[in-house]
Structure 1
Amino acid sequence: MTLAPDLTVVVASRNRRTDLLATLPRHEAPVLLVDNASTDGTVDAVRAAHPDVDVLALPTNEGAHGRTLGVARAATRFVAFADDDSWWAPGDLARAVEVMRAHPRLAVLNARILVGPEERLDPVCAEMADSPLGTAADLPGPSLLGFIACGALVRSEAFESVGGFDPVVRFPGEEERLALDLAAAGWGLAYVDSVTVHHHPSTRRDDPGRRRAGIWRSRVLTAVMRHQVPDVAGVVGTAVRSGRPGVEGLLRALPDLPAALRRRRPIPEQVRADLRTLAGGKQ
């Protein structure tokens, strides 16, 4: 299948030079690397080994917001996100773009993600395939209110219209707020298991406890920005009851609460109803 000319792969990374040098040649489209202020020589190494890669070297760690800067710089109709330890299967980027073209309301296509050399299906993909939201007539797969960034192809117009990944939530857990805003704006998100992303988790990853705390931080800040007050209280209460990661995440969210409040824009009732459906509640 012919490579789409209006596609860029945006890879966000920080201090993962070895992983990047191994995965960058696997991408079947022009690549833009967003380097989040690495200190391990990533920028120089990539420019030397892969001069065809466009490198956006950020002076500070922007977290997931770096991807937003990357989409703006890429200026292509579609952007496939990849991490420094992930890549799209051969031929599947072009196939995914054709799916996007055939479904003009589709803002985010989440591919099937296979983990590790043993190619285990990411458990979140099984959940997405069984989404209780069903499949809308104008979407190519089960409807979603979330996605996994390293396995997502986005329509730049939709992504940028809702602000992309913001500088408040950062990483991890950055997908939730973006998904809610896309749904609120009438865009569709869908799981498409006919295209595949490979993810071989890097050995240079945060310890699990720190990552769980980061996810709780993102949940709290997203709730403040987009949920009704009772729902925000519910998220905070659940964080406290979850133990140390939740409490740590809550504490890490506190300095960013003013910024979250300035960006507060509660989602409409229909999106709240879909969230209740996903949680197993009533419409």
Structure 2
Amino acid sequence: MVASRNRRDDLLASLPRHEAPVVLVDNASTDDTVAAVRAAHPEVTVVPLDRNTGAVARTLGVARAGTPFVAFTDDDSWWAPGDLARGVEIMRAHPRLGLLAARILVGPAEELDPVCTEMADSPLASEPDLPGPSLLGFVACAALVRTEAFTAVGGFDRVVRFPGEEERLALDLAAAGWGLAYVDEVTVHHHPSTHREPSTTRQAGIWRSRVLTALMRYPLRDVAGQLVRSARAGRPGWRGLAGAVPRVPAALRNRRVLPQHVMAGVRELAS
């Protein structure tokens, strides 16, 4: 499942690399993405949206796929040959595994994404019924989800949107009893698009998502801690706080405090 916006050329290059049927949800692109993909890849199921819904596009894509498992990629990433099938086998062998986070190799040099080192060294207690280190986060372009679990917790939501949308979903999966694990024998290739927003804009968006996720799920003292961390993060943090303000009412309407054992993991990762 691929969500995309205004990255026609990246899509046309990456789509042939996918080994499974593809659902493309287009977030109201203005670069003729929909027509170009339909012409070049008629086998792809294209779902055009009339507005940019952010990460919610993935939720719509999962519903359209209608399969027991759905792999996420971006327009500039793809699963290594044979590894998607391997990932599904691992999911089937571990029935509590709600989300598998794959190893990410970046660019033609295939350098390991630093986030993979962090996931491999997760300080969370290893769970014997999972195939790798336990997680409370993941990278959306390299994740395989169990549709039952994803749908039960609502998928990606309209409050957090993008970027930094992964945390709220990961926390809700854990709260519902599903496991999340890093599995480094399954690989995703990521060749970052040249059509990317400035890093400062992205960092501000991530801080906005962290604040909104805290408002939706953290106990009040942890919300306060997240606000302080954002304020201390400099300009990106302040921009993130400002960006979160219009969405605060929606975040509070969707507020549901996490169980203590999940918050214990959140605090462990933040320490």
TM-score normalised by L of structure 2: 0.99
Once the two structures are superposed, residues 47-74 of structure 1 have per-residue CA deviations (whole angstroms, 9 ceiling, x without a partner) of 0000000001011100001100110111
Letter in 2 for 1:58: L
Task: Show structure 1 runs of 5+ residues with no match.
Answer: 1-9
SS at match of 2:231: helix
- 2:6 is aligned with 1:15: yes
- 2:154 is aligned with 1:163: yes
Equivalent residue, structure 2, for 1:128: 119
Equivalent residue, structure 1, for 2:97: 106
Equivalent residue, structure 2, for 1:37: 28
How far, CA to CA, are the matches of 1:110 and 1:64 in structure 2?
Answer: 17
- 2:153 is aligned with 1:153: no
- 2:81 is aligned with 1:71: no
Q: How many angstroms does 1:24 deviate by? A: 0.3
Once the two structures are superposed, residues 73-113 of structure 1 have per-residue CA deviations (whole angstroms, 9 ceiling, x without a partner) of 11100000000000000000000000000000000000100
- 2:212 is aligned with 1:209: no
SS at match of 1:233: helix
How far, CA to CA, are the matches of 2:127 and 2:245 in structure 1?
Answer: 38
Greater mean alpha carbon deviation, residues 207-216 or residues 230-239:
230-239
- 2:224 is aligned with 1:241: no
Equivalent residue, structure 2, for 1:141: 132
Superposed CA RMSD in Å reads 0.7
Letter in 2 for 1:216: W
Letter in 1 for 2:135: L
Once the two structures are superposed, residues 94-137 of structure 1 have per-residue CA deviations (whole angstroms, 9 ceiling, x without a partner) of 00000000000000000100001001101010011011113211
- 2:66 is aligned with 1:85: no
How far, CA to CA, are the matches of 2:24 and 2:198 in structure 1?
Answer: 24
Equivalent residue, structure 2, for 1:6: none
Equivalent residue, structure 2, for 1:3: none
Letter in 1 for 2:156: F
How far, CA to CA, are the matches of 1:242 and 1:152 in structure 2?
Answer: 28
Q: How many angstroms does 1:146 deviate by? A: 0.4
Q: How many angstroms does 1:236 deviate by? A: 1.1
- Which structure 2 residues correspond to residues 55-70 of structure 1 after superposition, within 5 A? 55-70=46-61
How far, CA to CA, are the matches of 1:119 and 1:141 in structure 2?
Answer: 22
SS at match of 1:83: coil
SS at match of 2:73: strand
How far, CA to CA, are the matches of 2:125 and 2:138 in structure 1?
Answer: 15
How far, CA to CA, are the matches of 2:111 and 2:190 in structure 1?
Answer: 10
How far, CA to CA, are the matches of 2:268 and 2:251 in structure 1?
Answer: 26
- Which structure 2 residues correspond to residues 194-205 of structure 1 after superposition, within 5 A? 194-205=185-196
Equivalent residue, structure 2, for 1:252: 243
How far, CA to CA, are the matches of 1:144 and 1:105 in structure 2?
Answer: 13
Q: How many angstroms does 1:243 deviate by? A: 1.0
Q: 1:117 pairs with 108, 112, 117, which one?
A: 108
Q: 2:86 pairs with 95, 98, 114, which one?
A: 95
- 2:165 is aligned with 1:174: yes
Would you identify which runs of 4 or more consecutive aligned residues in structure 1 move more than 6 Å?
A: none
Equivalent residue, structure 2, for 1:4: none
How far, CA to CA, are the matches of 2:66 and 2:253 in structure 1?
Answer: 28
Equivalent residue, structure 2, for 1:230: 221
Letter in 2 for 1:157: E
How far, CA to CA, are the matches of 1:120 and 1:21 in structure 2?
Answer: 23
Task: Show structure 2 runs of 5+ residues with no match.
Answer: none
Q: How many angstroms does 1:237 deviate by? A: 1.4
Letter in 2 for 1:197: V
How far, CA to CA, are the matches of 2:245 and 2:23 in structure 1?
Answer: 33
How far, CA to CA, are the matches of 1:134 and 1:25 in structure 2?
Answer: 39
How far, CA to CA, are the matches of 1:213 and 1:274 in structure 2?
Answer: 24
Q: 1:272 pairs with 249, 254, 263, which one?
A: 263
SS at match of 1:33: strand
